[in-house]
Structure 1
Amino acid sequence: MSLPTSQKQWLIQGTGQGFDSLVYQDAPIPKLGADDVLVQFQGASLNFRDLLIPQGKYIFPLQLPIVAGSDGAGTVLAVGSNVTEWAAGDRVLPLFNQGHQKGAIDTAAAGTGLGGCVDGTLRRYGVFGRTGVVRMPANLDFVEAATLGCAALTAWNAFYGLKKLAKGETVLVLGTGGVALFGLQVSNVVFQFAKAAGATVIATTSSAEKADVLKKLGADHVINYREDPNWGETARKLTPNGEGVDHIIEIGGEGTMTQSLNAIKMEGIISVIGVISGTPPKDNIIEALSRLCTVRGVYVGSRELFEEMVQAIEKHDLHPVLDEKRFTLETAKEAYEYMWAQKHFGKIGIKIE
């Protein structure tokens, strides 16, 4: 079989012109090495980080110009001569941090993120190392599966990367306020994982309308933080014997950490998985000592965690919530603008043909 030699792709040229920095171009397909796999992409999705990068607002290192896109899914088209674990026709997902195979992430692995330091997924074909892809869940289609690499794996890492979420525990999810639709993308994933584990879910929001959405997504309790400025204590009172929340998913921003510390249980974990307001928290984290809790930043997850998550998604037949509007590779720039305008509900899917 003759392999393709050229393709279409979206390149981030720089960060000075916003989404105009995205250029749709013809490009050669990278050469397939002996330890590589060639993947034909059939789905992709957008994350908040994808929007921040071309605008120069991303806080982690970049290697521009770079092919855009953090999440994708596709089929193995060919494998290198040394590759035995993959074969043509296998359905796979690329690992976001290509160098993060297992255990804790290090500086080197943190510099291998797709769409930032390594060419990403908004293209027709990609070449990855043999350990740079994982098996795609059998119960999902390509666009559904293309939503898992960043948001879903980050949530899974928050629950299982340090201290495993257990049945009967309580999860508190933040960050569905002024930028609710970005937060809700994460919340949906978190809710599904938490409910599958048999946990109770508490969520915060800023309006009755958003509270209804959160309840439909699976929240057991919803607290309106605008009406209840001491929502951390309220969340604590909703837990067994008022001892506090076991896991907190912190995606808020300035001012939320104080309430998270008020809500957390002794030996509980606060996972900071993003600051969707764009403003870093200013609260004094030394209070973690008096609360006897762990506050950890989570940067997606390892290949090992990804494989565990895929198994759980199949076992519980979990499906991500996708926005009803679909985009193609050719219209991917419109997807960026659509998401930035907060017109979406759920993850934004991009079909690649």
Structure 2
Amino acid sequence: MLTAAIHTPANLESIVIEQRPEPSIKAGTVKVRWHALSLNFHDYAVASGMMPTEHGRIPMSDGAGEIIEVGEGVSEWQCGDRVMSLFFPDWHNGDPSQDNTSRIGGDSVDGCATEISITDPANLSRIPNNYSYTEAATLTCAALTAWRALVEVCNIKAGDSVLIEGSGGVSIFAVQLAKALGATVYATSSSEEKMERLKQLGADHVVNYRSDPLWGETIHHLSGGIDHVLDVGGGTTLEQSISAAKVNGNLVPIGILGGLEANINLTQWMLKQLRIRPIAVGSREMQNRMVDFLETADFKPIIDCCFELPQLAEAFHYQLSGQHLGKICINL
């Protein structure tokens, strides 16, 4: 079977596409043939060596495929069932803990960049009935992060205001989801072309953060204060995210695209009495709730482009260029 592997020292040029023997099924497991993957920043961080992993690690946390063999004792799945991966394979329900979030697909354990895997049946969830494999492969990190932030943490309701930063995978899902739930959406981008596309996807107000360095204050003035802010930049955006938020609002850090350290005005933070809740993706239980919702929603994932598995390094280079809007996928 065709497999991508990260060789050490890790960098995009050390990704090797190789043939490996097809694994044999064991009792209590299922065999999955992966049909599609999608790229996240975390995948790039592992593949580029920013986040160290073992030599020979199979990358990519997000995959969608079908079950082609069921081991003895498995009753939850049948051959032909369409499934997708979990970002945290051990976090099935309840709150996150050190134990259930210590393993990450494509990072501390092998991921989905291979034609066939053997896995625990609890490490999968079903695909929305009306989704293709490529569409489903975009859900397990980016979409679930947006879902958890807006629905599970913020308890968003119709009429709320939401600020969503940038036009990456999580941000695009968040725009679509917030609009589907009746919110007024404020967004930011540095590209006039992407600003227009965000409006087409439902954003009510879009501010250019490059031409307006105090964009948080601008958005606060436009909105009267944002109910729910999803911060994606970390070090470069957190201060303006706080400026945009209303008193007693929600601020959910969901990304570190702008750096790992941030200078913030503690007085402003305290006087606004913000509920600040950083999150990392979500559980299987949350993923199943999201799937139920998506089967009734009137939108689909935005896919920028697709590559083939031997082009994985090329796909990461394209991701790094920042040209994309929506998800970059890999078809197997």
How far off is 1:129 after superposition?
A: 1.2
User: Aligned AA for 2:310?
Assistant: E
1:197 equivalent in alignment to 2:177:
no
- Distance in 1, matches of 2:267 and 2:254, equals 19
Which position in structure 2 is the counterpart of 1:87?
Answer: 78
How big is each residue's C-alpha offset from its partner over 1:322-341, in whole Å with a ceiling of 9 and x where there is no partner?
12x42222322322222223
- Distance in 1, matches of 2:27 and 2:127, equals 23
RMSD value, Cα: 2.0
Matched residue of 2:264: which SS?
Answer: coil
How big is each residue's C-alpha offset from its partner over 1:42-73, in whole Å with a ceiling of 9 and x where there is no partner?
11111122112122223xx7445410111110
- Distance in 2, matches of 1:137 and 1:192, equals 16
Asked if 1 retains the 8 angstrom alpha-carbon contact of 2:28 and 2:71, the reply is yes
1:12 equivalent in alignment to 2:6:
yes
Which position in structure 2 is the counterpart of 1:3?
Answer: none
Matched residue of 1:161: which SS?
Answer: helix
Listed as ranges, the matches of 1:305-320 within 5 Å are: 305-320=286-301
- Distance in 2, matches of 1:220 and 1:262, equals 19
How big is each residue's C-alpha offset from its partner over 1:130-170, in whole Å with a ceiling of 9 and x where there is no partner?
21100101111111111111111111111123231111111
Listed as ranges, the matches of 1:250-329 within 5 Å are: 250-284=231-265, 287-323=268-304, 325-329=305-309
How far off is 1:284 after superposition?
A: 4.7
Unaligned runs of 5+ in 1: 1-6, 177-182
- Distance in 1, matches of 2:214 and 2:141, equals 31
How big is each residue's C-alpha offset from its partner over 1:262-294, in whole Å with a ceiling of 9 and x where there is no partner?
222233221111121345323256753322112
Asked if 2 retains the 8 angstrom alpha-carbon contact of 1:253 and 1:280, the reply is yes
How big is each residue's C-alpha offset from its partner over 1:224-259, in whole Å with a ceiling of 9 and x where there is no partner?
2334333223322333xx2x2121110123342222
Which position in structure 2 is the counterpart of 1:140?
Answer: 131
Which position in structure 2 is the counterpart of 1:97?
Answer: 88
Asked if 1 retains the 8 angstrom alpha-carbon contact of 2:194 and 2:325, the reply is no
User: Aligned AA for 2:257?
Assistant: I
Matched residue of 1:348: which SS?
Answer: strand
How far off is 1:195 after superposition?
A: 0.7
Find the partner of 1:210 among 194, 197, 203.
194
How big is each residue's C-alpha offset from its partner over 1:97-145, in whole Å with a ceiling of 9 and x where there is no partner?
0011112211122221110011101100112212110010111111111
Listed as ranges, the matches of 1:116-265 within 5 Å are: 116-174=107-165, 176=166, 183-239=167-223, 242=224, 244-265=225-246
The count of residues paired between Structure 1 and Structure 2 equals: 332
Matched residue of 2:195: which SS?
Answer: helix
User: Aligned AA for 1:348?
Assistant: I
User: Relative to 1, partners in 2 of residues 1:321 and 1:303: Cα closer, same or farther, differing over 3 Å?
Assistant: same
Percent identity among equivalent residues? 38
Asked if 1 retains the 8 angstrom alpha-carbon contact of 2:154 and 2:228, the reply is no
Find the partner of 1:345 among 299, 310, 325.
325
1:22 equivalent in alignment to 2:15:
yes
Matched residue of 1:28: which SS?
Answer: coil
Asked if 2 retains the 8 angstrom alpha-carbon contact of 1:172 and 1:202, the reply is yes
User: Aligned AA for 2:195?
Assistant: A
- Distance in 2, matches of 1:89 and 1:336, equals 31
How far off is 1:309 after superposition?
A: 0.8
- Distance in 1, matches of 2:145 and 2:256, equals 13
Unaligned runs of 5+ in 2: none
Which position in structure 2 is the counterpart of 1:335?
Answer: 315
